[in-house]
Structure 1
């Protein structure tokens, strides 16, 4: 296996790897049909094995404090995507990608990584194993169909909300417990 910079010709493999990896998480419906591009510089690496993309990491980094990351001192990098193809999990690929991205980040005077994830315990434990610390959280709340009634409404005439994805930063999450989907979104940070 080699870890190398992402190339435009990797896009299909990148999308497949990310989609299959995310299907096993609380982000199962966050499907992309093309690779994201960033406003700021980014470290974009892939792990390749026998011509197949089996892992990826994308870290958008700051040239000016707090333009990408939500917290911290100095210049940081936001891990937007880190994924390992499920057929190749538990082989240390995610860890190798993280360390390779960190090496590049240090050369660019980046002093930390920030990553937001949902309430998948196995994902959170991986971040903790990689020496990230949980530093913040809020909630992702989805409303569908009858859940919308009386809770979410539009002020636009003749516009009817059917599905809504929201961020809730308050303290009374119990009011939404009857919803089918409520996820705690957690920020992890690793300084180096």
Structure 2
């Protein structure tokens, strides 16, 4: 396997989007990017290539003002927005190489701490293996019961689906009883 980790280039967006879609196909995440995310401040955007084909990616945004991106308000924060590897390329050390290179480059840019969030249990196993500690948990819920959503209709709009974050101070049992969500997924950071 001829693996190369290098910076993402804008002319690779179409291939990056294809890789991203295939990575998230078997996940709990509900996202299909139509454009690669752009970051306001400094960022580290890496791709993993095998035989010149993108098989993985990593995006870290370096926080300029404590608390503007990351939950913990500390100097030198970085947010790990995205890391993924194609299913057929997993368990070959590619994510580890991406993470290590992202952290190395982050430290060169004064990053002291990296924050990660996920609703994927396998992602947290990976993060914990590399020293990440869980410090906060909330829930992602999906409500798509039209009868339960009518109360949100307004200005001629009919809400057909809500994907929401439920914070720990909220009564999750009451939300479940009232709105009958189709999905309830813990998100840890």
Mark yes or no: TM-score above 0.5: yes
1:78 aligns with 2:79: yes
Give how far 1:87 is off.
1.1
Q: Which residue of 1 aligns with 2:172?
A: 173
Aligned residues: 183
**Over 6 Å off, 4+ runs:** none
Which secondary structure state, in structure 2, belongs to the residue aligned with residue 135 of structure 1?
A: coil
Answer yes or no: is the 8 Å Cα contact 2:149–2:160 preserved in 1: no
1:190 maps to which residue? none
Q: By how many angstroms is 1:64 displaced? A: 2.7
Following superposition, the deviation at residue 141 of structure 1 comes to 1.3
Cα deviation, residue 149, structure 1 = 4.2
Question: Secondary structure in 2 aligned to 1:134?
Answer: coil
More strand by share: 1
Query: What TM-score does the superposition give when structure 2 sets the normalisation length?
Result: 0.90
Match of 1:47 in 2: 48
Quickly say closer, same or farther: Cα 1:83–1:147, change in 2 above 3 A.
Answer: farther
Q: TM-score, normalised by structure 1?
A: 0.88
Residues in 2 aligned to 1:103 and 1:11: alpha-carbon distance in whole angstroms: 24
Q: Going by fraction, where is helix more abundant, 1 or 2?
A: 2
Cα distance in 2 for residues equivalent to 1:157 and 1:171? 27
CA RMSD of aligned residues (A): 1.7
Q: CA deviation at 1:121?
A: 1.9
Q: CA deviation at 1:32?
A: 0.7
Q: Which residue of 2 aligns with 1:153?
A: 152
Deviates more, 1:172-181 or 1:137-146: 172-181
Q: Unaligned 5+ residue runs, structure 1?
A: 188-192
Task: Note if contact 1:147-1:179 (Cα within 8 Å) is conserved in structure 2.
Answer: no
